[in-house]
Chains A and B, each alone.
Chain A
Amino acid sequence: MNGPIVQPRVPAVPLLAVEDLRIGFGAHQPVSGVGFDVREGETLAIVGESGSGKSLTALSIMGLLPSSARIAPGSSIRFEGREISALSVKDARALRGGSIGMIFQEPMTCLNPVMTIGDQVAEALRQHQPLTRKAAKARAVELLDLVRIPDPHRRVADYPHQLSGGMRQRVMIAIAVACGPRLLIADEPTTALDVTIQAQVLDLIDRLRRELSMAVLLITHDLGVVAQWADRVVVMYAGRKVEQGEPDPLFARPLHPYTQGLLTASPRLDDNFHYSDGPLNEIPGSISSVAGQVGCAFAPRCAHACTACRETIPVLHHLTDGRQVACPVLITEEHRVAAFHR
Chain B
Amino acid sequence: MSLLSIADLSTHFRLPNGALRALDGVSLDLQAEETLGIVGESGCGKSTLGKTILRLVQPTSGSIRFAGEDVTTVPTRKLAQFRRRAQMVFQDPFASLNPRHTIRKILTDPLVVHGIGDKPERARRVEDIVQRVGLDAGALDRYPHEFSGGQRQRVGIARALILEPDLVICDEPVSALDLSIQAQTLNLLSRMKADLNLSYIFISHDLSVVRYFTDRVLVMYLGRVVESAPTRALWSAPRHPYTRALMDAVPDPARRRHAAPIKGDLPSPQDVPTGCRFHPRCPLATEICTRVEPTLDRLGDGHSAACHHA
Contacts and interface: CB of A to CB of B under 8 A. Distances in A.
A45 to B, nearest CB: 12
A193 B43 contact: no
B231 interface: yes
Interface in B32-50: 35, 39-43, 47
A1 B268 CA distance: 34
A49 B178 contact: yes
A247 to B, nearest CB: 8
A72 B252 CA distance: 40
A223 B179 contact: yes
B78 interface: no
Interface string A208-252: 000000000000011111011100000000000000000000010
Contacts of A334: none
B267 A150 contact: yes
A26 to B, nearest CB: 11
A199 B249 contact: yes
Contacts of B122: none
Interface in B229-288: 231-232, 235, 245-246, 249-253, 255-262, 265-268, 270-271
Interface stretch (B69-77, B90-98, B103-111, B292-300): B90-98
A261 to B, nearest CB: 6
Interface stretch (A84-92, A103-111, A127-135): A103-111
Contacts of A251: 253
A50 interface: yes
B58 interface: no
Given A164-B43, A269-B207, A288-B134, A192 B251 contact: no
Contacts of B134: 286, 288
B190 A275 contact: yes
B262 A196 contact: yes
A55 B148 contact: yes
Interface string B129-142: 00000111011000
Contact of A267 (B15, B139, B183): B183
Contact of B186 (A1, A206, A280, A288): A280
A50 B212 contact: no
Nearest to B42: A166
A151 interface: yes
Nearest to A220: B178
B177 interface: yes
B260 A196 contact: yes
Contacts of A188: 149, 176
A281 to B, nearest CB: 6
A196 B245 contact: yes
B251 A282 contact: no
Contacts of A151: 267-268, 270-271
Given A224-B250, A280-B187, A291 B91 contact: no
Nearest to A68: B146
A150 B280 CA distance: 14
A195 B251 contact: yes
B208 interface: yes
Given A49-B178, A275-B212, A279-B190, A167 B43 contact: yes
B178 A288 contact: no
Contacts of B246: 194-196
A17 B301 CA distance: 58
Interface in B183-227: 183-184, 186-187, 190-191, 205-209, 211-213
A64 interface: no
A162 B269 CA distance: 12
A203 interface: yes
B92 A1 contact: no
A158 to B, nearest CB: 8
Nearest to B214: A275
Interface residues of A, number: 71
B101 interface: no
A12 to B, nearest CB: 28
A337 interface: no
Contacts of B179: 221, 223, 262-263, 265-266
A268 B252 CA distance: 10
Nearest to B231: A274
A29 interface: no
Contact of B187 (A107, A162, A191, A279): A279
A206 B257 contact: yes
Contacts of B259: 199, 203
A267 B41 contact: no
Given A194-B42, A262-B179, A55 B265 contact: no
B268 A150 contact: yes
Contacts of B40: 194
A200 interface: yes
B150 interface: yes
Contact of A272 (B20, B41, B235): B235
A306 interface: no
Interface of B: 13, 15-17, 20, 35, 39-43, 47, 91-95, 134-136, 138-139, 145-151, 172, 175-184, 186-187, 190-191, 205-209, 211-213, 231-232, 235, 245-246, 249-253, 255-262, 265-268, 270-271
Interface of A: 1, 25, 47-51, 54-55, 66, 105-109, 148, 150-151, 154-155, 157, 162-167, 188, 191-200, 202-203, 206, 221-225, 227-229, 251, 261-263, 265-269, 272-275, 279-283, 286, 288-289, 291
Given A154-B270, A269-B250, A275-B213, 15 more contacts: A47-B178, A51-B150, A66-B145, A106-B93, A164-B43, A166-B41, A167-B43, A192-B91, A194-B42, A228-B251, A228-B256, A265-B180, A266-B179, A268-B208, A283-B180
